[in-house]
């Protein structure tokens, strides 16, 4: 598709005189347009759910979540990957972003990098892409050569390909195994896809990664039980999670967290199952780290013997 044919590049009739408006009128228009983002995403929830189910299966088998993009889209993908480490203790080599132009492009525009399919192939080859991996290609337009190259190469390898764009008839949407394209309409500032399109991409990526984490045992009830207690705030959050999950007081939670080697999930299983740290870890490993599955087997037995 030609650039001028893309929804994300068309002009928004509601903001044609935005340069003449007051600050309050400007933010009212932006807010009204932003409200359309969640509604656009609602229409593609089946595709997002399919992406979660298939990505979780690959991830559980040892595959990686690899985000590919250029510019704003590449930064959003990289951000989503980075945040999985402190939130869910995901190793940086299991979820990471590849941005056209390399790490420098995170902080400064690298012109021309997004126009190369070959560069995407080279980047993925450097990371030794395999069939168990998941490649999430992100581009508002859906026509960026770098992300198209990433999808094409990933398809050859047999990896799962997911595209996140904002143009449903884009090439990326057609090439990927799962195409996710919330159509948010023209931007308030023509072509400024860091606005509604960027917001939509951020929301979709959050859904995918959060869904994968839920499916693979990093969430118990609605608590992020794989959080890393690496600073005072996260230590307190970890203790609160143990308290919420088990009902023990914070002092008891701290004792179990220490015995569990600072693993929140292990501490919860120890308390609820009335078992030691070694047994808790063994059971979690044998049950894909899903606390609910472990407690279904352990807690009832312990209640019977109480």
Domains and CATH numbers, the chain: 3-215 (3.40.50.10490), 220-305 (1.10.8.1080)
Query: Catalytic: which of 9, 33, 47, 114?
Result: 114
Determine the pLDDT at residue 2: 64
Q: Enumerate residue ranges in the chain where pLDDT < 70.
A: 1-5, 299-306
Determine the pLDDT at residue 306: 47
Determine the pLDDT at residue 154: 98
For residue 177, which phi and psi values (nearest 5 degrees)? -60, -40
Determine the pLDDT at residue 105: 82
Determine the pLDDT at residue 3: 65
Tokens 């593609």 -> residue: 44
Tokens 């859906």 -> residue: 142
Active site residue 83: yes
**Which string of DSSP letters, residue by residue, matches the chain?**
--GGGSGGGS--GGGTTGGGS-HHHHHHHHHHHHHHHHHHHHTTHHHHHHHHHHHHHHHHTT--EEEEESHHHHHHHHHHHHHHHHHH---TTTEEEEETT-GGGGTS--TTGGG-HHHHHHHHHHTT--TT-EEEEE-SSS--HHHHHHHHHHHHHT-EEEEE-S-TTSHHHHHSSEEE-----S-SSTT-TTTHHHHHHHHHHHHHHHHHHHHTTSEETTEETT----SHHHHHHHHHHHHHHH---HHHHHHHHHHTTT-HHHHHHHHHHT--HHHHHHHHHHTTT-HHHHHHHHHHHHHHH-
Q: Whole-model pTM above 0.75?
A: yes
Query: Catalytic: which of 83, 132, 152, 155?
Result: 83
């Amino acid at each position: 598709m030609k650039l001028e044919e893309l929804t994300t590049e068309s002009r928004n009739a509601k903001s044609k005189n935005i340069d003449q408006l007051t600050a309050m009128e400007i933010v009212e228009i932006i807010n009204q347009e932003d409200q359309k983002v969640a509604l656009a995403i609602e229409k593609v929830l089946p595709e997002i759910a399919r992406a979660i189910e298939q990505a979780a299966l690959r991830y559980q088998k040892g595959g990686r979540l690899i985000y590919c993009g250029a510019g704003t889209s590449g930064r959003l993908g990289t951000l989503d990957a980075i945040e999985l480490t402190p939130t869910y203790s995901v190793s940086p080599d299991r979820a990471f972003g590849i941005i056209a132009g390399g790490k420098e492009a995170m902080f400064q525009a690298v012109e021309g990098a997004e126009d190369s399919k070959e560069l995407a192939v080279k980047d993925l080859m450097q990371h030794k892409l395999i069939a168990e991996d998941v490649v999430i290609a992100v581009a508002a337009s859906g026509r960026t050569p770098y992300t198209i190259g990433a999808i094409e190469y990933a398809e050859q390898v047999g990896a799962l390909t997911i595209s996140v764009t904002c143009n449903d008839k884009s090439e990326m949407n057609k090439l990927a195994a799962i195409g996710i394209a919330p159509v948010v309409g023209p931007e308030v500032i023509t072509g400024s896809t860091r606005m509604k399109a960027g917001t939509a991409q951020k929301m979709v990526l959050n859904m995918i990664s959060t869904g994968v984490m839920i499916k693979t045992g990093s969430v118990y009830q609605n608590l992020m039980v794989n959080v890393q207690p690496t600073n005072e705030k996260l230590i307190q959050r970890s203790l609160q999670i143990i308290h919420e999950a088990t009902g023990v007081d914070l002092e008891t939670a701290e004792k179990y967290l220490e015995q569990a080697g600072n693993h929140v999930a292990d501490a919860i299983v120890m308390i609820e199952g009335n078992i030691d740290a070694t047994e808790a870890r063994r059971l979690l490993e044998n049950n894909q780290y899903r606390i609910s599955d472990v407690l279904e087997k352990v807690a009832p037995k312990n209640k019977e013997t109480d």
